[in-house]
Homo-oligomer: A and B are copies of this chain.
Amino acid sequence: MTEPTRLYRDSDGRLVAETRFRARFCETDQMGIVHHAAYITWFEVGRSAFTRAIGYPYSEMEANGLSLAVAEVHARYHRPARYDDEVLVLTCLTEFPSRGMSFAYEIRRAADHAVLVTGSSKHISIDHQGRVVRIGDAIRDRIVGAAREQLGTG
């Protein structure tokens, strides 16, 4: 399958994974718009797309014993998405300390690129027992390297 995700550097040099899909009917609420909690799950879709795009999918990270527990999430709602709207989720890795990762997000309407929701999330790296752990150099190098390689700027 052609992934509906593309990876690029934005004008500030930040690595961005942009993934696109349509708002689902079940994601709307009785106000006739997408429910505010749905965007939090779209941020997660963005993170998944980001890790897949750089060549190290989160599913593989988990198989290697590393999970990213969510420590904090923030969202600001600018304009609503509606059922069947095609949206873009833009995801950036903003911090990569020894024991976690932080991401920033922009959700845009594909039709006119209007900004719908912006946000961020902070994650702690834990093992399968739930203990906070350092992200090993092997994994770190792989993420950093994958991003570099993927963009052909190694």
Contacts of A140 in B (CB 8 A): none
Contact, CB under 8 Å: B69 / A76: no
Copies of this chain, whole number: 4
The segment from A8-16, A17-25, A95-103, A142-150 found at the interface with B is A17-25
A48 to chain B, nearest CB (A): 6
Chain A 45-87 residues near chain B, CB threshold 8 A: 45, 48, 52, 57-59, 67, 69-77, 80, 83-84, 86
Chain A interface residue bracket vs B: 35 or more
A132 to chain B, nearest CB (A): 13
Contacts of A86 in B (CB 8 A): 1
Option from B1, B40, B45, B80 in Cβ contact (under 8 Å) with A36: B40
